[in-house]
């Protein structure tokens, strides 16, 4: 669902910093709870390690410094902002990162003054794990409590939706399916940009002129504008007409007619910017993924070196020709790279640069090569490509250059899969779309998986795909 919310155009008096007395109370409880949890888990870990919950030696000073860091660092990660509509997964990730940074800062400061040896590693490790678990549980319970309050009609926001567009229907469905967010859509305003479908279960408030004339009688807290970007005249009229009223106005551009990739809102030197197409693997994320790739590739190559040597001997004995096979593929940004494989076919030359995909009972494939391809062992040399920085362990599988030329002219958005480095395995492969893509429909399914991977990339997603890959290889489905 493409819901881009670059922020409020204006926040009125009806929504203060903590949005309501209920949210304000929960905000205080969560902040106090974090401090209490960090302190109590330090005592608990001390009890387990030393047999007493009373902190002694240098430990009380360390705990005091950590509590100060918690009060300073946690707000910087947005851990006390409104939960309305925020992902629980993102919240847990921010908690884990903030707590890790706090403990890392403690260790670095102690190491700098050469006091790190004064602390028990078991105590610190137990404290870190116990606090992390309870901080996560703390937030889960807080969200559950607030969700229960909102589900019963308390701490809700009355929302008027401007535009029965594709985006408008998505907003209405999201609000109805997630009552814990406390968004009560009380009606919608017709516009010339509507898609013709009726908005179910909510009344129509007329056109924009009628709504503006009668706005105050609805007592709405928020107005959500679900119009296309070309509707700037209507948006401006709405802003001017409500300029003196305490109401929050949010823009949800109807961008469903566009081919979007990793859409997001951000700021550039203080100027609001909406990214319509980009990649999550940028900046720190690119560095993290590169470190992940190099470390895993080096470890795997060291572990599998004996196996690769045996495979090289098997390839040499199976048929005349070189052990390795190099093929031109498109890497990140569409640049050509040489991808390495163990040779699994008899040497042959195809005419006019044509690349024919392997098929069932392909006579070009050697007997040993058939085993290599079914088990994907022929792909092992691509870990060298990973060390070279040309590939990742996880990413869209690289297609032959000829195949790219063929499909990019037939599938809209096909080349977006080159927004990240190609991978040895990918979301498409562990989702059942491995092997020959002899129809446009099969390629569409594979590309959809690749785009979904780029949009939702994370280290954890990479690790899940890596762990699922051996199970897929054991099945040997669609590999020949």
pLDDT tens-place string over residues 100-157: 999 998 888 888 767 766 778 889 999 999 999 999 998 888 777 766 666 666 667 7
Q: Of the candidates 234, 275, 248, 280, which has an alpha carbon nearest to the alpha carbon of residue 7? A: 248
> Domain ranges in the chain?
8-12+155-275, 21-151, 284-475
Q: By the 8 A CB rule, do 223 and 251 touch?
A: no
**Which CATH architecture group holds 8-12+155-275?**
3-Layer(aba) Sandwich (3.40)
pLDDT level of residue 444 (50, 70, 90 thresholds): confident
Rounded to 5°, angle at Cα 442 from 431 and 420 = 65
Q: 223 by DSSP, 3-state: which?
A: strand
- Cβ atoms within 10 A of the Cβ of 411, count? 15
Query: Cβ(398)–Cβ(422) under 8 Å?
Result: yes
- Give the pLDDT score at 18: 35
Quick one: average pLDDT of 310-335?
Answer: 88
For residue 385, pLDDT over 90 is answered with yes
DSSP state of 381: T
**Confidence grade of residue 239 (pLDDT, cut at 50, 70, 90):** confident
Report the DSSP beta bridge partners of residue 324.
Answer: 342
Exposed, middle or buried, 268 (CB in 10 Å: 0-12/13-18/19+)?
Answer: exposed
pTM score of the predicted model: 0.52
Q: Which of 201, 197, 205 is nearest to 161 (CA)?
A: 205
The answer, yes or no, to whether residue 352 has pLDDT greater than 70, is: no
Cα 159 from Cα 137, distance rounded (Å): 31
Torsion of CA 49, 54, 57, 62, to 10 degrees: 90
Would you give the DSSP letter of residue 302? H
| Range with the poorest average pLDDT among 25-34, 160-169, 339-348, 443-452 | 25-34
| Integer CA distances (angstroms), 423 to 224, 291, 373, 395, 457, in order | 40, 15, 17, 4, 13
d(CA 398, CA 391): 9
Percent of the chain with pLDDT over 70: 77
| pLDDT score, position 310 | 94
pLDDT, average across residues 74-95: 74
Contact 180, 146 (CB under 8 A): yes
Cβ count within 10 A of residue 477:
11
Pick the range with the lowest mean pLDDT from 29-38, 194-203, 281-290, 421-430: 281-290
Distance CA 27, CA 33 (A): 10
- Reduce the DSSP state of residue 234 to 3 states and report it: helix
**22 or 202, which is more confident:** 202
pLDDT tier for residue 266 given thresholds of 50, 70 and 90 = low
Q: Are the CB atoms for 396 and 415 separated by under 8 Å?
A: no
- Least confident range of 69-83, 126-140, 415-429: 69-83
Of the two residues 64 and 439, the one the predictor is more confident about is: 64
Please tell me the predicted confidence (pLDDT) of residue 3.
32
What pLDDT, on the 0 to 100 scale, is given for residue 4? 30
The chain-wide mean pLDDT, for the chain, equals 79
Q: Which tens digit of pLDDT belongs to each residue from 303-319?
A: 999 999 999 999 888 88
């Amino acid at each position: 669902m493409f819901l881009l919310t670059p922020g409020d155009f204006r926040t009125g008096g009806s929504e203060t910093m903590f949005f309501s007395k209920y949210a304000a109370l929960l905000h205080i409880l969560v902040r106090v709870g974090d401090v209490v949890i960090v302190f109590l888990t330090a005592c608990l870990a001390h009890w387990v390690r030393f047999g007493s919950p009373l902190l002694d030696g240098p430990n009380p000073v360390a705990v005091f410094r950590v509590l100060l860091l918690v009060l300073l660092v946690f707000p910087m990660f947005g851990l006390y902002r409104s939960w309305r509509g925020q992902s629980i997964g993102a919240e847990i990730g921010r908690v884990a990162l903030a707590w890790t940074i706090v403990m890392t800062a403690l260790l670095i400061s102690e190491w700098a003054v050469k006091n790190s040896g004064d602390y028990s590693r078991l105590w610190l490790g137990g404290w870190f794990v116990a606090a992390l678990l309870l901080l996560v549980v703390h937030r889960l319970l807080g969200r559950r409590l607030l969700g229960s309050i909102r589900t019963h009609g308390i701490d809700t926001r009355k929302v008027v939706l401007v535009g029965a567009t594709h985006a408008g229907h998505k907003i209405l469905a999201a609000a109805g399916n997630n009552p814990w967010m406390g968004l009560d859509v009380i009606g919608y305003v017709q516009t010339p940009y509507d898609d013709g479908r009726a908005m179910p279960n909510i009344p129509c408030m007329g056109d924009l002129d009628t709504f503006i004339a009668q706005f105050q009688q609805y007592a709405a807290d928020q107005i959500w504008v679900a119009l296309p970007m070309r509707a700037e005249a209507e948006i401006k009229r709405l802003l001017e007409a409500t300029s003196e009223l305490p109401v929050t106005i949010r823009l949800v551009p109807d961008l469903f007619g566009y081919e979007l990739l990793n859409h997001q809102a951000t700021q550039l030197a203080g100027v609001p910017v909406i990214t319509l197409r980009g990649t999550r693997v940028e900046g720190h994320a690119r560095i993290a993924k590169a470190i992940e790739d190099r470390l895993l590739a080096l470890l795997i190559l060291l572990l599998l070196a004996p196996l690769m040597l045996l495979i090289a001997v098997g390839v040499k004995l199976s048929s005349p020709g070189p052990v390795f096979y190099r093929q031109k593929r498109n890497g990140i940004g569409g640049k050509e790279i040489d991808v390495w494989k163990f040779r699994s076919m008899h040497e042959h030359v195809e005419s006019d640069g044509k690349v024919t995909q392997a098929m069932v009972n392909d006579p070009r494939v050697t007997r040993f090569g058939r085993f290599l391809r079914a088990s994907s062992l022929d792909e092992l040399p691509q870990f060298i490509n990973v060390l070279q920085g040309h590939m990742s362990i996880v990413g869209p599988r690289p297609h032959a250059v000829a195949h790219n030329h063929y499909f990019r002219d037939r599938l809209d958005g096909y080349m977006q899969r080159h927004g990240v480095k190609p991978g040895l395995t990918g979301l498409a492969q562990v989702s059942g779309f491995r092997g020959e893509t002899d129809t446009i429909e099969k390629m569409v399914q594979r590309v959809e998986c690749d785009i979904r991977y780029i949009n939702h990339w994370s280290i954890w997603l990479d690790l899940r795909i890596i762990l699922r890959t051996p199970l897929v290889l054991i099945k040997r489905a669609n590999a020949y």
